[in-house]
Amino acid sequence: MKTSFARHLLTMTFLLRASTLSALEISSLLSERGIESDSVVLGMRVTSNTGLHLASVQESIFHSGSGSGLDSGSGAGLTSASGPTLNLGTFDIQINAGATLAGNAPALAAFNRAALQWENRIADPITVKINADLASLGAGILGSTVPVLITGSYDSLRGPMVADAADEADDAIVASVPTAAGFSGLLPVGFSFTGDIVATKANLKAMGFSTALLDGIAFTTNDATIRFSTNFTFDFDNSDGVTAGQTDFETVAAHEIGHALGFFSFVDVIDPLVNAGTPDAVDVSPLDLFRFEEGTANDPATVAEFATFPRSIQPNVAANTDEIANEWRMSTGRLTGDARQASHWRDDALSGTLIGVMDPSLSTGLVELVDFPDFRALDLIGYEIIPEPGSFLLLAIGVVGIAAARRHRTR
């Protein structure tokens, strides 16, 4: 029997509209809402004159569980910087290793290889800074990720995302993401929208917001914090396969980096509120702007429908990340959905189909790689993704093959 782990988002974002509550008052407020304070990472919303706000951090915590994998073979006047010039090689993920990680050369090397999977295909001239370390995280927890989240009014973030995609023909669908005036979404009963979008700090860098601005709002130059448990056995080199009974460290690191870059859904914030019976006003994430119901009358089939149909911002409802040309199933919530975080593709252990590294589970002895859907999701929300070099080679081979066949027929 395989020993595997499933990724569970146990510590959720809880956005506080006031910045004057004491820790005791916050704990009391959470208790009133039926939420245990030790299951929520708190952060104050700090208003800046740019219209952007610091949101509370969202932590991904990983527990042992079931899964499968691949065989190891309101910002009035707010503007972003001008669109970045494509220049593969200028995107950099800086890993600020803590003492324990720095002292484990194989682990740090694996982490850097995971970063390279993303760096090899992202062309934004930005630097993403990640604090990382190894630590004892408690029973069943493999690792955790805490991205810095920043909130802004809907149109102040939608505009730069659309502008960023304007020079890429394959991203034309982004222009059809509705403005705030045209946006609608499906929510659980009693919930409402704040009118804001919350994004990772790294994602906002990719959209073109200046690093200095974002660092000032967040009071930190860091973009995310990732930790891995010292209580589990990792294989730090999958080049010769993954040792039976061990977990591939590079796969876990690549997955965590994906969350830091912006692969997350606010449905994971709504899920525990639904479970606790405490409706609230909620934000959406950039990825949620592409989240639609699967197989219902609200599942878009045309660009016009994409522009007008309501987004699915609700747990326990089958949903896709949908760009019309492609759609990929999503998980639906740890507490009230399919027992997987909504900030992931649908688990291949449930569907039988692995979509990409942002799958919510991984068996020991197996490897998952960053794949087309993973890159495409980031492409849609503001990153500049370069086609895989191999695709050009395959096309060239195909053209040569056709030419050779034609010459053969004319003989």
Q: Are strands 327-329 and 319-322 parallel, antiparallel or unpaired?
A: antiparallel
User: Distance of alpha carbon 352 from its chain centroid, rounded?
Assistant: 22
Alpha helix (H) residue ranges in 80-210: 99-102, 105-119, 154-165, 201-207
Confidence of residue 88 (pLDDT cuts 50, 70, 90): low
Can you tell me the distance from the alpha carbon of 227 to that of 248, in angstroms, rounded to the nearest whole number?
Answer: 15
Q: What is the pLDDT of residues 209-240, one digit of tens each?
A: 999 999 999 999 999 999 988 888 999 999 99
Confidence of residue 45 (pLDDT cuts 50, 70, 90): very low
Mean pLDDT is lowest, of 111-120, 211-220, 355-364, for: 355-364
- Residue 81, pLDDT > 70, answer no
Is residue 243 classed as helix, strand or coil in its secondary structure? coil
Distances (CA, A) of 175 to 170, 172, 178, 381: 11, 6, 8, 11
Confidence of residue 388 (pLDDT cuts 50, 70, 90): confident
In terms of residue numbers, what domain contains 307? 4-410
Is residue 71 classed as helix, strand or coil in its secondary structure? coil
In the numeric block, which tokens belong to residue 127? 């630097």
Can you tell me the distance from the alpha carbon of 199 to that of 221, in angstroms, rounded to the nearest whole number?
Answer: 16
Distances (CA, A) of 372 to 95, 328, 356, 369, 385: 24, 11, 7, 10, 10
Sign of torsion over alpha carbons 36, 42, 47, 53: negative
- Residue 47, pLDDT > 50, answer no
- Residue 288, pLDDT > 60, answer yes
- Residue 63, pLDDT > 70, answer no
Q: Is 231 exposed, middle or buried (0-12, 13-18, 19+ CB in 10 A)?
A: middle
Number of domains, the chain = 1
Q: What is the pLDDT of residues 123-137, one digit of tens each?
A: 999 999 999 999 987
pTM of the model: 0.81
| Rg of the chain over all Cα atoms, to the nearest angstrom | 21
Can you tell me the distance from the alpha carbon of 67 to that of 363, in angstroms, rounded to the nearest whole number?
Answer: 5
Confidence of residue 25 (pLDDT cuts 50, 70, 90): very low
pLDDT at 58: 54
